[in-house]
Amino acid sequence: MTTEEKFMALLKKMSAYSEALNIMYWDMRTGAPKKGISTRSEAVGTLSSELFKMSVSEEMEGYLKKLGDRMESLDPVMAKTVAVVQEEFDQSKKIPADEYREYVVLSSKSESVWEEAKDKVDFEMFLPYLENMISSTKNLINYWGVKDGNPYNTLLDKYEPGLTTDIIDEVFGQLKETIVPLVKKISEKNNQPDTSFLFAQFPKENQKVFSHEILKQLGFDFEAGRLDETVHPFALGITIRDVRITTRYAENDFRSAIFGTIHECGHALYEQNIDLELEGLPVADGTSMGIHESQSLFYEKFIGHNENFWKYNFDLMKKHSPEQFENVPLDDFLRAINFSKPSLIRLDADELTYALHIMIRYEIEKGLFNGDIEVKDLPQVWGDKYEEYLGIRPENDGEGVLQDVHWSAGLFGYFPSYALGFMYAAQFKAAMLKDIPNFDELCLRGEFHSILDWLTEHVHRFGKLKKPLEILQDATGEGLNAKYLADYLFDKYTKLYNL
Amino acid sequence: MTTEEKFMALLKKMSAYSEALNIMYWDMRTGAPKKGISTRSEAVGTLSSELFKMSVSEEMEGYLKKLGDRMESLDPVMAKTVAVVQEEFDQSKKIPADEYREYVVLSSKSESVWEEAKDKVDFEMFLPYLENMISSTKNLINYWGVKDGNPYNTLLDKYEPGLTTDIIDEVFGQLKETIVPLVKKISEKNNQPDTSFLFAQFPKENQKVFSHEILKQLGFDFEAGRLDETVHPFALGITIRDVRITTRYAENDFRSAIFGTIHECGHALYEQNIDLELEGLPVADGTSMGIHESQSLFYEKFIGHNENFWKYNFDLMKKHSPEQFENVPLDDFLRAINFSKPSLIRLDADELTYALHIMIRYEIEKGLFNGDIEVKDLPQVWGDKYEEYLGIRPENDGEGVLQDVHWSAGLFGYFPSYALGFMYAAQFKAAMLKDIPNFDELCLRGEFHSILDWLTEHVHRFGKLKKPLEILQDATGEGLNAKYLADYLFDKYTKLYNL
């Protein structure tokens, strides 16, 4: 066997371990029996540790060295694969295998405890696990190295390479300049639409059927994926041909399931449309959390909240919950689903105030990792910040600091990518309009394939073959520009509320 | 670390791989997206191969040698664990790792193809896979060694140690002496009960709810297990605290789901009640297929078909399908669910004719491995034997040779254990009656815990710490005795049909 072949064989073996771990993860989240969780966590720890050992093995090091020495002679996919694996190797090599294993076991348990703590609205129950997750993560940062004098930068860089607190502070600042005055004007205007029908009973089984119908419209391939139900929705690309999403059904608020499903669908379409040629390689994955989020938000916001999408789908939805929408004209429906008002739950937040939820989490994470905030004070800090930014305060930790899965799973530095993704999405949309000027007309006809084709052509198919800003530059012809999102929000809400 | 500790660490690592493989298997059977199956099969092959390598590694050999040299000084569980692992080591050591890997990949694919072939009623589609499975198995037999001059004995011994064609020919002969005259008498008697209501509509969702209720009654622990739906029902012990079963819902024949669920429940109770002290060890498993089947058949036949069970549960079932049972007295219901008539599908067969289905499969397997039967002739051979033994012939391969999953998964030599399990079960029941003379009264009250406790005390808790015949001897005070089953069938059917 040539070095390339041996290298590929090792990667293939590693991808088998990833598949197993992904399925175990999915299983734990979608209904694994409770008593089996602790053994399962141990098993996940063992396999992760084996996978980690392979990724930092001398065998791997040898292949990377040999192939790295003659990058020019490798075909482009192989060359990029070597580069991506080399980067991960350099990062991983810094963490001792035992500590990584402990970290994985801890995060697996922590996530299960979080789920129970959230159910029971008991922050104290989750507290020691969160403290442990943070100190373990700080420990990892020490191995990775502090970036630009700020340990939190090290975390940001893992999800969106190149991102720092300096950049985020600036971009979030620009957005704030648009959002804060808009939120203020809306509250002064005092012309909120009637939204009562949103909270009328919509049977769960019917929401399920409608969610499946919407997924089919948008191009989700059910032969290469499935939809399930969880407390906290997620999308999981096990392989390109097995991409699973979950949603949360609330009978008294269909928006949770419908928009949640559309959001996760955006993630899933990204994973399902990576070039099949990359299957089994580490480059067969989203290139960054921000780009990933740009796809989910593109679908959730620019399609799922588009008036033409609902001109096509409103009657269909009515069939699934006839009484609820009996006397609701489409215009009232559109104003209701696009209404903006400060709220407590990020996942239910409207698109205007959404970024404020992100900013709060961003500032808390910075504080936790710079030592300005202690975990035990989180409920207090959380409440204070919600009061400051949104003028409201959670009554309990279930609708406060316990609402998100991220910290329980060690995903610190991840939140900013949600807002960044929204900026990318707005920028993609602007570029797409040049190629597909009849975007709204397509939504009106329920024809989403050319939109999906554009995203596949410019974003999905590359996987990790391109870096985030390379994707953005090649697709839109310019670097990151917060203006597109700011303009979109300004125009939309000025019109909706007659500001 | 001591040798014991190192040995245990290796076993724990191996059990993590088993957990992953079991979950992947469960996932593939319960709804994994179709397009992902081929990659999944490769991943299963890779992890199985790694597990296999560990089981035959020099490291393992070293521990076994060291511990085997001082068995007397080991605690009993450790000593038995060493013995069980040593046996498996000796068996496995004979198979080259690459060939084992190929075999696992093939059986995984073969099982998926079978499922599709069964759906499409297309034996030709499955034919090359089955041929391949048989030649691969013959290849494995050559490595293991032919037992007592008959390659099929080698397979029998894997599922029920000590069993040979000589013994089976004899025991099946005894049973035949009872069954064949009974079947003949019943057909001559011409007093079959009305069974039409069995085939009336029973909504699937209601069957689901009822199945869950029955499982709870019988003591199935839903915090350590779950119930799902598949084409071919199965029970899978992932760990002692995660035991999953599946069932098949047929809206026009509730017996498929209800008795199928009770059957798989018997398997599950065995796995859930193995001593927790054994968790993670290779001895935490059923001791043989026959003993496993004795538990499922005990529940399916001696509880699920017991008239007192239905005196307690008939009204409950009526609630789930009121019209169907509106004018059905309990006695008619009991005669209907216990009616005996030759049929084509093993899983739907009544308990009297059931063993004939097994005998047919046993004879075909013997023929396939002794070279007397060719795979391409199976539909013909199958039909001929059904005509000879049961007087009926399948109209297509879906209700014929394609009906069982076993051969697609390489489970040759497994079928006889079903009939053997029935004999064990009848023998356990006779012994249990000495300790629990009010067995029928307990069924009448829906109190199954002392029955479960007896089985746990005498069978479940030991896992593989005892061999099948040791379990039987200790629990019943004698060796295998076909008389108990023969007597049970004779008494029951003589009474039911006034013979």
CA distance A85 to chain B (A): 20
Q: For residues B477 and B483, is the Cβ–Cβ distance under 8 A?
A: no
Q: Is A242 on the interface with B (CB under 8 A)?
A: yes
Q: Could you tell me which of B297, B311, B307, B308 has the C-alpha nearest to residue B265?
A: B297
pLDDT of residue B496: 93
- Are A213 and A229 in contact by the 8 Å Cβ rule? The answer is no
By C-alpha distance, the chain B residue nearest A244 is B33
Q: What strands lie across the sheet with A225-229, from one edge to the other? A: A225-229, A242-247, A235-239
Q: What is the pLDDT of residue A126?
A: 97
Alpha carbon of B269 to those of A52, B263, B275, B285, B461: distances in Å?
A: 37, 10, 12, 12, 10
The answer to whether the CB atoms of B224 and A36 lie below 8 A apart is yes
Partners of residue B20 in chain A, C-beta under 8 Å: 20-21, 23-24, 43, 47
User: Cα(B394)–Cα(B397) distance, rounded to whole angstroms?
Assistant: 7
Report yes or no: A57 and A89 within 8 Å, Cβ to Cβ: no
What 3-state class would DSSP assign to B374?
coil
Q: What is the distance between the alpha carbons of residues A86 and A102, in angstroms, rounded to a whole number?
A: 24
Angstroms from A390 CA to nearest CA on chain B:
41
Distance CA B242, CA B276 (A): 12
Distance from CA of B382 to the nearest CA of A (A): 34
> pLDDT tier at B414 (50, 70, 90 boundaries)?
very high
CA neighbours within 13 Å on the CB side: how many for A73? 7
CB-count exposure of residue B399 (10 Å: 0-12, 13-18, 19+): middle
Angle A134-A138-A142 from CA coordinates, rounded to 5° = 170
Cα gap B257→B209, rounded to integer Å = 11
Cα distance between residue B66 and residue B59, in whole Å: 11
Determine contact, residues A60/A89, Cβ cutoff 8 Å.
yes
Instruction: Enumerate the residues of chain A whose CB falls inside 8 A of the CB of residue B24.
Output: 19-20, 23
What confidence score (pLDDT) does residue B480 get? 87
Domain ranges of chain A: 3-129, 165-496
By Cβ distance, the residue of A36, A43, A238 closest to B16 is A43
Average pLDDT over residues B275-283: 96
Residue type, B341: K
Closest C-alpha to A13, from A67, A55, A75:
A55
- Please tell me the distance from the alpha carbon of residue A306 to that of residue A300, in angstroms, as a whole number: 9
pLDDT confidence of residue B47: 96
State the burial class of residue A341 (Cβ atoms within 10 Å of its Cβ: 0-12, 13-18, 19+): middle
Please state the φ and ψ torsions of residue B381, each to the nearest 5 degrees: -60, -45
Contact status of A363 with chain B (Cβ, < 8 Å) = no
**A26-56 pLDDT, tens per residue?**
999 999 999 999 899 999 999 999 999 999 9
Q: What is the pLDDT of residue A274?
A: 98
Q: Which of B115, B160, B264, B307 is catalytic?
A: B264
Give pLDDT, residue B92.
86
Distance from C-alpha of B372 to C-alpha of B367, rounded to nearest angstrom: 5
Nearest residue, CB atoms, A16 vs list B42, B238, B244: B42
Per-residue pLDDT at B384: 96
Q: Could B39 and A46 be called an inter-chain contact, meaning their C-beta atoms sit closer than 8 Å?
A: no
Secondary structure class of A199 (helix, strand, coil): helix
Kindly report the number of other CB atoms within 10 A of residue A171's CB atom: 20
Which residue of A12, A19, A21 to mutate against B (max B Cβ within 10 Å)? A19
Whether the Cβ atoms of residue B245 and residue B235 lie closer than 8 Å to each other: yes
In contact, A144 and A133? CB cutoff 8 Å: no
Task: Report chain A's mean pLDDT, rounded to a whole number.
Answer: 95
What is the structure's pLDDT at A232?
Answer: 84
Helix spans in A273-415 (H): 289-297, 307-320, 330-337, 354-370, 378-390
pLDDT-derived band at B294 (thresholds 50, 70, 90) equals very high
Sign, Cα dihedral of A8, A11, A16, A22:
negative
Distance CA B412, CA B125 (A): 20
Give me the residue from B13, B24, B244 closest to A23, CB to CB. Answer: B24
Per residue in B115-150, pLDDT (tens digit) is 999 999 999 999 999 999 999 999 999 999 999 999
Tell which residue, A28, A311, A359, has the closest CA to residue A176: A359
Task: Please say whether the dihedral angle defined by the alpha carbons of residues A330, A331, A333 and A334, taken in this order, is positive or negative.
Answer: positive
CA B469 – CA B471 distance, rounded (Å) = 5
Phi, psi angles (nearest 5°) of residue B245: -125, 160
> What is the pLDDT averaged over residues B386-406?
93
Examine the pLDDT at B231 and tell me if it is beyond 90: no
What confidence category does residue A98 fall into, taking pLDDT thresholds of 50, 70 and 90? confident
Nearest residue to A344 (alpha-carbon basis) of A300, A405, A385: A385
C-alpha B74/C-alpha B276 separation (Å) is: 19
Task: Indicate if A61 belongs to the active site.
Answer: no
pLDDT tens digits, one per residue of B340-369: 999 999 988 899 999 999 999 999 999 999
Whole-number average pLDDT of chain B: 95
Helix, strand, or coil here: B243?
Answer: strand
Q: Are A180 and A355 in contact, with CB atoms under 8 Å apart?
A: no
The arithmetic mean of pLDDT across residues B171-176, rounded, is 89
Q: Is residue A263 marked as binding?
A: yes
Residues B243-270 pLDDT 10s: 999 999 999 999 999 999 999 999 999 9
Residue A451 tokens read as: 């939109």
Query: A43: which chain B residues are within 8 Å (Cβ-Cβ)?
Result: 15-16, 19-20
Q: Residues B12, B280: contact at Cβ < 8 Å?
A: yes
Using alpha carbons, select from B333, B320, B306, B324 the residue that is nearest to residue B446: B306
Which structure tokens are listed for B311? 């005196």
Tell me if residue A226 falls in helix, strand or coil: strand
> Given this model, what pLDDT does residue B39 score?
93
Determine the Cα angle at A161 with ends A157 and A164, to 5°: 55
Confidence of residue A388 (pLDDT cuts 50, 70, 90): confident
Encoding tokens for residue B348? 């739907």
For the segment A225-241, the average pLDDT, to the nearest whole number, is 95
Instruction: Give the HSE-up count for residue A341: Cα atoms under 13 Å, Cβ half-sphere.
Output: 11
What tokens does B261 get? 């669920």
Give the number of C-alpha atoms closer than 13 A to the C-alpha of residue B190, restricted to the C-beta side: 1
Q: What is the pLDDT of residues A284-300, one digit of tens each?
A: 999 999 999 999 999 99
In three-state secondary structure terms, B93 is helix
Kindly state the average pLDDT of the residues A116-140: 96
> pLDDT digits over A164-174, tens only?
898 899 889 89
Entry field: residues in chain A: 499
Cβ–Cβ contact A212 with B under 8 A: no
Contact across the interface for A241 and B17, Cβ inside 8 Å = no
B49 touches chain A (CB under 8 A): no
Q: What are phi and psi of B323, to 5 degrees?
A: -65, -40
A340: pLDDT strictly greater than 80: yes
Residue A194 per-residue DSSP state? P
Which residue is catalytic, options A111, A115, A264, A300?
A264
Complex-level ipTM: 0.86
Q: Are B33 and A222 in contact (CB under 8 A)?
A: yes
Report the run of H or E that residue A227 belongs to, with start and end: strand A225-229
Cβ atoms of B248 and B230 within 8 Å: the answer is yes
Q: Which of B40, B158, B51, B55 is nearest to B105 (CA)?
A: B40
The minimum CA-CA distance between B3 and chain A, rounded to whole Å, is 20
Distance CA A249, CA A261 (A): 10
CATH number of B165-496: 1.10.1370.30
- pLDDT exceeds cutoff 90 at B100: no
Q: Kindly tell me if the per-residue pLDDT of A231 is higher than 90.
A: no
| CB atoms closer than 10 angstroms to residue B387 | 12
Cα(A317)–Cα(A313) distance, rounded to whole angstroms? 6
Strands B235-239, B242-247: pairing is antiparallel
Q: What percent of chain A has pLDDT above 70? A: 100
The reported pLDDT for the residue numbered A480 is 87
- Structure confidence at residue B281 as a pLDDT band (50, 70, 90): very high
Contacts of residue A115, Cβ cutoff 8 Å, sequence gap at least 6: A231, A232, A405, A408
Check: CB of residue A131 under 8 Å from CB of residue A138. no
CA dihedral B220, B225, B226, B231 (to 10 degrees): -90
The whole-number pLDDT of residue B479 equals 86
pLDDT digits (tens, 9 = 90+) for A164-208: 898 899 889 899 899 988 988 998 888 999 999 999 999 999 999
CB contact under 8 A, A226 and B24: no
**DSSP state at residue A231:** S
Task: Give Cα B466 distance to the centre of its chain.
Answer: 19
Residue with token string 């219901």: B333
Handedness of CA B242, A115, B20, B248 (dihedral sign): positive
Å between B268 CA and nearest CA of chain A: 13
Residue of A nearest to B28 (CA): A23
Kind of pairing between the strands at A235-239 and A242-247: antiparallel
The amino acid at residue B264 is E
Residue showing tokens 């079959």: B192
Angle at B222 between CA B216 and CA B225, to 5 degrees: 125
Q: Supply B100's token pair.
A: 């084992």
**Chain A touched by B280 (CB under 8 Å):** yes
- In this structure, which amino acid lies at residue B455? L
